[in-house]
Structure 1
């Protein structure tokens, strides 16, 4: 299969990579392990509580889909941690390389679309309360979430197609883009084809997964704030804090990743830039994964009702565990007491029999002595 000339600087920078255990790599691996552990635990907790212990409402459907996307992303994060721990070499095969990378991009699209949809939903509740009362229901929201997942899958397909396990001259294998796959019959102008494909994917991610959702989020909450101000309604501090946290978190988590991707595509032949991007991009991707850890805190733990449900559920689990432990302890004590009681009874019976035997022997001895005297 032909390779893209546009990847030459990238592959050259990776072929000269000889220190997989530097401080930056250790830091990134530690970040991945921390984010993965926290993200899996908290998203499993949210899915368990919201999915099975909370009545199915509109907000619970939004949160369930967001938690499912974040759980999917954080569950695949350990494989990327393994990739980095082995010195940025992929050992899990080409197919899993494509699947693993696609999960990252799927979460990127689903998270952006869901956050934008949640912001629009809150905006419609304030700006169009009558419409929201008549048409806003859980069935509609479930269909919207299904459409979001379908659209995200369609947007992820190109990233699956052009992802590949690429051998490098120093013996390592990269899980990276191969824009030379599925070329037309006429392979003339290979560099131009690869360049167009790379730019298309980069700017597709930038606009569809980041800029457009960010603009929708800002526009929605700005309209909510303006509408409440026109009505003379007092904006609660918790609402303002949540809006600021949502916007700032989304920007801080995803902006570095998209910035480095744009720099990479703007300087494809600069080896020094590609070497810098090769080190900075995994850190930026780790920060992007951190969004999956912060989403539950912003959208779930900021809701008092859901927090109470989670506390109640955790309390019920702990009570159940403690009740089982107490029951087991009581059973063991009861068994031990019955065993001691049985042993004591046996000893008493044995002592009684011994006493009877001794008394019988004494009587017989006395009779023998008396008969001898006579």
Structure 2
């Protein structure tokens, strides 16, 4: 995800390997629409930064100082670290957007900022997928999970997720660049790696390839795995008559819908951007900043879900700290379904299937 590109990602297409004069015949969004999208993005970024740093920082503190080492703690610590680092670098993007997409931090920081933001966001997606698979295995194969689900294995899997995140984010170090456009220094993706007009076809091919790979690996595959995992969990619980109410199913639906709503618009716009000559300039220039901010907002959602979906919110009789600790805890050990009473299994599965 390129959170610092916004409207500048397709400026690159026109100004770097296309004749910018051809854009004059395209419909330009009004300054009011552009300003509204920019201001809205700044507001969303700012709220995300504040809530994300506070929420994820609290989660990191709780797991580090208040909880014993467990598999759940490892999952959520890594997820909180990824989101926290993303939020820490959001002020650069807030400043960039507030200054009408004028990058004042230099070319090296342009590359590093984009790399770190992509690293943390891809790592978050991979970790969410990993947690979903872990939930599924714990419910479907409880005996195997109890014997093989170890903290050492969890640490190794988290390491793999971070390595994959680095690999998927490394292109930012290659293609991210700065250039002067209409008096502003923009931080953008220079897929041609030059200003040579003869490189236009190669640049377009790279652009389309990167965006499609990002769409598949960063969204389609994860959301498919997450959806399948929770559908399997729901079927398993219903078949064994473990779920006493529809609450676990509602929580599953809420988690999937939240993920989809945050990420789907961004990826759709990024795919459309590769065909910018066939898409209204208004849609891209006003839509990309807003959908990018919406995707960034996903980094502050998890602590909120931990607190308000870990238990019945209407029975708010414990502190935020206690609710977070309850949501992040390992919970009951995973044993065979036959060894559990109906009430105990209902309580355990409701907790264990609450979080992504």
Q: Same fold (TM over 0.5)?
A: yes
Query: Which ranges in structure 1 are unaligned for 5 or more consecutive residues?
Result: 315-374
- Correspondent of 1:284 among 280, 288, 291: 291
* Distance in 1 between residues matched to 2:271 and 2:22, nearest whole Å: 14
State how 1:1-374 maps to structure 2 within 5 Å: 4-6=16-18, 8=20, 22-168=35-181, 170-181=182-193, 190-234=199-243, 236-267=245-276, 269=277, 273-299=280-306, 302-303=309-310, 311=321
SS across alignment from 1:176: strand
* Distance in 2 between residues matched to 1:188 and 1:86, nearest whole Å: 30
With 277-286 and 39-48 compared, the bigger mean Cα shift is at: 277-286
Post-superposition offset of 1:160: 2.5
Q: State TM-score, norm by structure 2.
A: 0.77
Post-superposition offset of 1:137: 0.9
- Contact 1:228 1:235 (C-alpha < 8 Å) held by counterparts: no
- Contact 2:177 2:189 (C-alpha < 8 Å) held by counterparts: yes
With 31-40 and 103-112 compared, the bigger mean Cα shift is at: 103-112
- Contact 1:164 1:176 (C-alpha < 8 Å) held by counterparts: yes
- Contact 1:166 1:173 (C-alpha < 8 Å) held by counterparts: yes
- Contact 2:83 2:121 (C-alpha < 8 Å) held by counterparts: no
- Contact 1:20 1:87 (C-alpha < 8 Å) held by counterparts: no
Deviation digits for residues 261-303 of structure 1, max 9, x if unmatched?
A: 1111123x35x72343122211111101111111122246533
Post-superposition offset of 1:174: 1.1
**Corresponding residue for residue 5 of structure 2:** none
* Distance in 1 between residues matched to 2:140 and 2:322, nearest whole Å: 35
Query: Which ranges in structure 2 are unaligned for 5 or more consecutive residues?
Result: 1-14, 325-356
Distance 1:152 1:182, change over 3 A: farther
CA RMSD of aligned residues (A): 3.0
SS across alignment from 2:274: helix
Larger helix share, 1 or 2: 1
* Distance in 1 between residues matched to 2:73 and 2:265, nearest whole Å: 30
* Distance in 1 between residues matched to 2:267 and 2:33, nearest whole Å: 24
* Distance in 1 between residues matched to 2:247 and 2:265, nearest whole Å: 28
Which one has more relative contact order, counting CA pairs under 8 Å at least 6 apart?
2
Post-superposition offset of 1:17: 8.8
Deviation digits for residues 140-188 of structure 1, max 9, x if unmatched?
A: 11110011001110011112211111211x21111111012289xxx89
- Contact 1:164 1:175 (C-alpha < 8 Å) held by counterparts: yes
SS across alignment from 1:22: helix
- Contact 2:111 2:173 (C-alpha < 8 Å) held by counterparts: yes
Larger radius of gyration: 1
- Contact 1:5 1:191 (C-alpha < 8 Å) held by counterparts: yes
* Distance in 1 between residues matched to 2:137 and 2:245, nearest whole Å: 18
- Contact 1:20 1:86 (C-alpha < 8 Å) held by counterparts: no
* Distance in 1 between residues matched to 2:138 and 2:87, nearest whole Å: 32
SS across alignment from 2:309: coil
Post-superposition offset of 1:127: 1.2
Q: State TM-score, norm by structure 1.
A: 0.74
Deviation digits for residues 295-320 of structure 1, max 9, x if unmatched?
A: 1222465335xx96853599xxxxxx
Distance 1:190 1:282, change over 3 A: same
SS across alignment from 2:179: strand
